[in-house]
Structure 1
Amino acid sequence: MSAAAHRALDDELEFERFTRWVGEGDRPRLAESSLRIGGMHCAACAGNIEDALHAVEGVLDAQVSPAAQCATVRWDPHRTRPSALVDAVEKLGYAATPDTGAAARALRLKESRQALWRLFVAGFCAMQVMMLAAPSYLGHAGDLAPDLKQLLDWGSWLLTLPVMAFSAGPFFGNAWRALRQRRIDMDVPVALGLAVAFVASSGAAFDPGGPFGSAVYFDSLTMFVSFLLGGRYLELRARHAALRSLEGAIGRLPQTVLRETASGGIEPVSTLRLVRGDRVRVPRGEAFAADGVLLAGSTQADESLLNGEAAPQPKAPGDAVIAGSLNLGAPVLMRVERVGADTRYEAIVALMRHAQTQRPSATRSADRWAAPFLWAVLLLAAGAAAAWSFVEPGRAVWVAVSVLIVTCPCALSLAAPSAWLAGASAIARRGVLLRRVDAIEDLAAMRTLFLDKTGTLTEAGEGEAQMSSLDPSFAEAELWARAATLAAWSSHPLAQALAQRESGTSFCWSRLHEVAGQGVGGDDEAGVSWLLGKGPTGQSDADANETWLMRQGQPVARFSIAERVREGAADAIRALQQDGVRLVLVSGDVPRRVRRLAEALGLDDWHAQASPEDKLALIEAAQAHGERVAMLGDGINDAPVLAQADVSLAMGAGAEIARQHADGVLLSNRLGDVAQARRVAAKTLRIVRQNLAWAALYNAACVPLALFGWLPPWAAGLGMAASSLGVVLNSLRLSR
């Protein structure tokens, strides 16, 4: 990246494209940036990059995923800038670009082209070297004159030079970087094997009577590089395919929009310049750049990437539209309500980025064993060379090279990450976006699922809310307006249903606050406190879903709101029960309504009038009995139990604090997708075990063959490339 491009990254408006802000209240405001990394091949590369990023002053945390080829860096904006992060990565010899749609696609295309060119050069030269080596293999002893054989060997050496200098460049570069960092990664034994084979063959070609003998293996060397590059190229293409859907989400927002001016004209502006209240024209086929409301025009919106709903959703004036969804029907005019990090789209993208850089505990454990394993490989190769130097000195070098190549644990390092990434992508396509990849294991192993009631199993039904005025001194219109404007500040499903009523009057509230399980309140213009939420003890109607409006602690109105069972809830519950999951309904609602819902859905275990503390106690009690516990909820009162559960999911339409405390978000709001996600998670674990078993079996079978001299270097290279490709292709079965 040029110096000018680096400086552009430090423009705050520009780095908003790949950065979100974290921290609120008394905590310092920190930046969290996402970068696409090119040139990584293994977990050790990720460790090197993480160390380099941590060394940058002002970087507080850095996580790098070799499978996803991306990094998430949390940094202090008062102490460093984005350009310093990119510089730190590029100084190691890797490519780094902001994680925006266009930059990521350009980096992916560049990486693919470079890999293809290296493969072409290696394959072309290998064919020519094999042609020059053919007379030695096909002729009888004495048929080929020594001077002619040496001439052919010199030709093979010349054709091997481009393979070593260009095609094998990444192996030597990665190995050198690792050694400079006093680390050892999987390219070290490969580079060592290539170097030893080239030096020994060169010695035999130019001095047939010297210490290396007269046998050359330039054909095996070039074939090995070709096979290894071929496997890595196919692996690269498979990884790009797995990431394409996630990268498409990150780059879906338009870079410019058509904003109406005060005079009624149109001006093109950057998406980052939008503010609340702007009126934006959205042409057909374009994505909505912000969350907002349609003002004019009727259309259909494709929201599949955001909520998993495949069918386009009809949109009419007054309907809400979501940033990142596509306008399929006709040009429309919208009013911007939320922009940037406040939009649902940006929250989803943040979850995607976080999940991509997460490394499961099994993968981190494998990383710790990588260095000791590779040291053992080097010692084994040295021991094999020493043993064969007594048995048959002419084959000692080639046996050592075969051992170095065949024991390279590429397949082992890819076994788990490739499956986790493919599994997370498959689960996301089913409407569940995971915040941490470890949640796949917990989701597959869960045996008890706690379910919230309102907003999770039920949703606001058809028809308007009904009000009963309890204080004749207030006009009904004022009570409606005060309730609706207060409800707009709450994410509770019943409050949201009430907030949709057009009151025509707005009130200015101060000291707004929301208490979990109680309601949302504030002070009016005169400083009088109002509360919308839980009613007075003993006055609630057990048969109605209601919320109360109280002034100075005294009820002034009661609102009854229709509620219905969420579509597909009964089928989802039966599917989970058939899979052996125990379901528990926990709700703060009154016992009569909770029991009626439980009986309708076939739930035997239910708890009513449960406070957040009661729900937390139920979760802890189940965990104390050794159960793997999951929680599905949507409200701010569910946040503590979502954090406590072994694995937790928040409804996509739920409160932001619930989504932040959950391990995943049910974007589709369809309960049936939870059962589907659990089945995919179980399949992911099976594939991880298959990959690990295959990698271990491959090494157990091929290492003895190499030690006994029955596996030439080219066959070892073919086996290593095939094993790595095999585990990647096996993982991609999750994408079906």
Structure 2
Amino acid sequence: MSALPQGLHAAEADAQALAPFTTWPDGPDGAALSQFQVAGMHCAACSGLIESALAKLPGVVGASVNAASARLALRWRPSRLPLADVLAALEAIGYRATPDVAAPARELRRQERRQALWRVFVAGFLMMQVMMLATPAYVATAGELAPDLDRLLRWGCWVLTLPVMVFSAGPFFRGAWTQLRARRLGMDVPVALGIAVTFVASTGALFDPTGPLGHEVYFDSLTMFVALLLLARWFELGARHRAADALEAVAGSLPTACERLRDDGSSERVAPEVLRVGDRIRVAAGEAFAADGRVLTGQGWVNEALLTGESAPVAKAVGDGVVAGSLSVDGSFVVAVQRVGADTTAQGIVRLMQQAQSQRPFAHGVLDRVAAGFTAVVLLLAVAAGVGWWWVDPSRAVAVAVAVLIVTCPCALTLAAPAAWLTASGTLARRGLLLADLSALDRLCAVDTVVFDKTGTLSEERLMLRRWWTGNAGADAQALLERARSLAALSRHPHAQALADGRGGEGWTDVREVAGRGVQACDAQGRQWRLGAPGWVSDTPDPAARLAFGDEHEVLWLDLAEAPRPDAAEAVAALRAQGLRVRLLSGDQPDAVARMAAALDIAHWCGGATPASKLAAVQEWQADGERVLMVGDGINDAPVLAAADVRIAMGQGAMLARSAADALLVSNRLMAVPQALALAHKTRRVLRQNLAWAALYNLACVPLALAGWLPPLAAGIGMASSSLFVVLNAQRLHRG
């Protein structure tokens, strides 16, 4: 807790102190949303315990804990509840939490990994020693092992088991006690009960071989069971920590200082936090961009892999956008700052990943309740088995009851869903598609129609020169085009920037920009030229032209068109190959929409649509039974995005976290859409495999345990193996 601000009380916990791990979605006067990393969680039941404990505190609006990522999202009012009271309430029920800023959260994970590794090591090392001492009793023939030597070996097993019980198995007992105290049944209850009953029964048999507990001891089975279960939890912990590490890699990608240019031409080193929109910063080769912006001067290659998942560097030139956290590989840039602080792409990614990792999808809650009911049945079944065998063969009653408790532990059941969802969301994040709602993975499986917006979605933000011509016979169209490009470099209008294509604007004088018209300037001979609206450049404009350049003697007509994204055609083809309908729904002019549809081979398209007509069209398709995935830019498409069954917003724009979107495509690579649909179906298959394995495992092993054919050792191996199976099976989703 040393990383927290000293004396952080309600009166002092202002927005600035909470800012690194808190947002205010309802405004500064509303409830805060704080993110925490929690240590000490071992099963899905822990989520409910933490949520229940926090719900009792004054000022807490709501709490959501994701067991797979061990993250807590707390909606609360800091003015009514000190942060110290929140942390104390968690400690009182056996958990430690730290605000999810990089340093303390990373240290907390390091400590958790270190302690978990020590527990595995102690249990594994002593298990081997116990097995070594127990081996003679297994291999010796009748009368070969002297009774006093046999008793000495058993005492040695008992002594070696004590550290396993006190240290390695500690989390199971603490978890079970916490769950029982909260009147909940989680995975730790049958595990702890099985461990305790096995140890007590074996100890009784050791101290009094002729007593009611019989003469059999199970110290070897007990230590192996604890070691295997801790090993399974170690793998689960590793998967959870890798997700948190990926989040911190993005959060920590911003530089600690940057070079800000003053108006007088000088510069100063400042922290990124003091930058404001409109500032100019210089980024040298090898440095990271401190804010989102647009390149004013310079060109080179930029590595955006950390933010977009694109491993190959991207070429950047004048007019191109750059994002905070990306790295200049070989060029020097001057950038106009457009977004700073929490509004940058990097921080938007962090918020979305935090939101997704803090969620508990509906199916996850259902599995928690199923697991709780299943645990109650298991306990009754174990008691019944023990009582039944006590009348049949008292010496085997304890072993049978313990085997039933161990073999039916619902670890695999409660790990099945979160392991698959968390792994799949991490895979999509590496491809530049960030899930804001994990339930979208399940809803994607039902999609049969994909609807694209055009501008900013299928097309790039920039325009491209499609064709040019001149109405004057004998005029040199190519020479006029070069002069037009030169003049266009002096204007910041998007049409002019598309035409300039990174060229310089030397040789012009008396440059003047006319609002709503274009730009005019004089050449070296004093002739005045204009570039802009065709009707402003010429008294007889060509209706096919979008832009014109000329003077009083000659005119060059230019037609600009939107450039499709490089992978748009491939993405559309991939979606059709998956058997999906692809539609284009745009508010742009029908002829422009028709050209884009023809270029991408989209048969179903509609142009000139208003937000209301877009909404009506989607609702009509849904009324016909279609399940719609809408992909839009998240700016003008909010109503239709909200109405779609699944919605993906493109990553450009000032506000990243669109409230209507289930996911954000920060890479702007459309191939991530068919890849996400394919991965969603694969995730569902993996989830069903995990659940089927858990069910088949119990159906096969419970009768064996009840019949006395499954000893505690084999039950422990089976239970731990089932947990390992679901975690490792989910890791296949890393490959997509």
Would the TM-score normalized by the shorter structure come out above 0.5? yes
Aligned 8 A contact 2:203 2:217 in 1: yes
Which residue number corresponds to residue 69 of structure 1?
A: 70
User: Cα gap change, 1:274/1:607 in structure 2, threshold over 3 Å: closer, same or farther?
Assistant: closer
Which range is displaced more, 139-148 or 177-186?
139-148
User: Cα gap change, 1:545/1:730 in structure 2, threshold over 3 Å: closer, same or farther?
Assistant: farther
Q: Secondary structure at the match of 2:732?
A: helix
Aligned 8 A contact 2:362 2:439 in 1: yes
Which residue number corresponds to residue 622 of structure 1?
A: 621
Aligned 8 A contact 1:381 1:400 in 2: yes
Which residue number corresponds to residue 631 of structure 2?
A: 632
Which residue number corresponds to residue 734 of structure 1?
A: 733
Shift of 1:249: 1.6
Larger-gyration structure (1/2) = 2
Distance 1:72 1:504 in 2: 55
| From 460, 463, 467, the counterpart of 1:461 | 463
Distance 2:368 2:514 in 1: 58
Distance 1:381 1:593 in 2: 71
Q: Secondary structure at the match of 1:445?
A: coil
Shift of 1:5: 5.1
Which residue number corresponds to residue 56 of structure 2?
A: 55
Pairwise mapping of residues 100-499 of structure 1 onto structure 2 (< 5 A)?
100-257=101-258, 270-276=271-277, 284-293=285-294, 299-315=300-316, 320-329=321-330, 336-459=337-460, 460-462=462-464
User: Cα gap change, 1:238/1:139 in structure 2, threshold over 3 Å: closer, same or farther?
Assistant: same
Distance 1:601 1:293 in 2: 29
Distance 2:204 2:291 in 1: 66
Shift of 1:319: 5.0
Q: Give TM-score, length-normalised by structure 2.
A: 0.83
Which residue number corresponds to residue 722 of structure 2?
A: 723
Q: Which runs of 5+ in 2 are unaligned?
A: 469-486, 516-540, 548-557
Please state if 1:15 is matched with 2:18: yes
Corresponding letter in the other structure for 1:214: H
Aligned 8 A contact 1:63 1:71 in 2: yes
Deviations 1:60-109 (A, max 9, x none): 22221111121222222432344443333333222322223333332222
Aligned 8 A contact 2:450 2:629 in 1: yes
Aligned 8 A contact 1:616 1:644 in 2: yes
User: Cα gap change, 1:622/1:58 in structure 2, threshold over 3 Å: closer, same or farther?
Assistant: same
Aligned 8 A contact 1:639 1:657 in 2: no
Q: Give TM-score, length-normalised by structure 1.
A: 0.83
Aligned 8 A contact 2:31 2:61 in 1: no
Corresponding letter in the other structure for 2:605: W
Shift of 1:622: 1.6
Which residue number corresponds to residue 555 of structure 2?
A: none
Deviations 1:176-234 (A, max 9, x none): 11111111110010001111111111111112222212221111111111111122212
Q: Secondary structure at the match of 2:36?
A: strand
Shift of 1:630: 1.0
Which residue number corresponds to residue 531 of structure 1?
A: none
Aligned 8 A contact 1:33 1:74 in 2: yes
Using the aligned pairs only, state the percent identity.
54
Please state if 1:573 is matched with 2:572: yes
Which residue number corresponds to residue 600 of structure 1?
A: 599
Distance 1:294 1:569 in 2: 25
Aligned 8 A contact 2:345 2:656 in 1: no
Which residue number corresponds to residue 537 of structure 1?
A: none
Distance 1:632 1:545 in 2: 28
Aligned 8 A contact 2:225 2:720 in 1: no
Which range is displaced more, 667-676 or 307-316?
307-316
Distance 2:267 2:162 in 1: 60
Distance 2:257 2:710 in 1: 59
User: Cα gap change, 1:333/1:653 in structure 2, threshold over 3 Å: closer, same or farther?
Assistant: closer
Distance 1:32 1:465 in 2: 52
Q: Secondary structure at the match of 1:170?
A: helix
Aligned 8 A contact 2:466 2:559 in 1: no
Distance 2:71 2:400 in 1: 37
Shift of 1:703: 1.1
Q: Secondary structure at the match of 1:408?
A: coil
Aligned 8 A contact 1:46 1:65 in 2: yes
Which residue number corresponds to residue 33 of structure 1?
A: 34
Q: Which runs of 5+ in 1 are unaligned?
A: 467-479, 488-492, 509-539, 547-558
Which range is displaced more, 132-141 or 282-291?
282-291
Deviations 1:448-507 (A, max 9, x none): 1122122222233235999xxxxxxxxxxxxx99xx99x9xxxxx989979999999999
Distance 1:497 1:297 in 2: 17
Aligned 8 A contact 1:13 1:272 in 2: no
Aligned 8 A contact 1:543 1:593 in 2: no
Distance 1:629 1:443 in 2: 9
Distance 1:439 1:545 in 2: 41
Aligned 8 A contact 1:150 1:206 in 2: no
User: Cα gap change, 1:257/1:151 in structure 2, threshold over 3 Å: closer, same or farther?
Assistant: farther
Which residue number corresponds to residue 522 of structure 1?
A: none
Distance 1:34 1:700 in 2: 40
Q: Secondary structure at the match of 2:576?
A: helix
Which residue number corresponds to residue 646 of structure 1?
A: 645
User: Cα gap change, 1:580/1:199 in structure 2, threshold over 3 Å: closer, same or farther?
Assistant: same
Shift of 1:273: 4.3
Shift of 1:371: 1.3
Distance 1:428 1:113 in 2: 28
Distance 1:572 1:415 in 2: 31
Corresponding letter in the other structure for 1:611: T
User: Cα gap change, 1:6/1:184 in structure 2, threshold over 3 Å: closer, same or farther?
Assistant: farther
Count, aligned residues: 673
Distance 1:666 1:604 in 2: 24
User: Cα gap change, 1:293/1:103 in structure 2, threshold over 3 Å: closer, same or farther?
Assistant: farther
Which range is displaced more, 576-585 or 263-272?
263-272
Compute the RMSD of aligned alpha carbons.
3.6
Distance 1:619 1:247 in 2: 38
Distance 1:563 1:313 in 2: 20
Which residue number corresponds to residue 550 of structure 2?
A: none
Shift of 1:573: 1.4
Deviations 1:649-672 (A, max 9, x none): 111125638833111112222222
Distance 1:23 1:495 in 2: 41
Corresponding letter in the other structure for 2:68: A
Deviations 1:211-261 (A, max 9, x none): 212221111111111111122212322443455433322332244556678
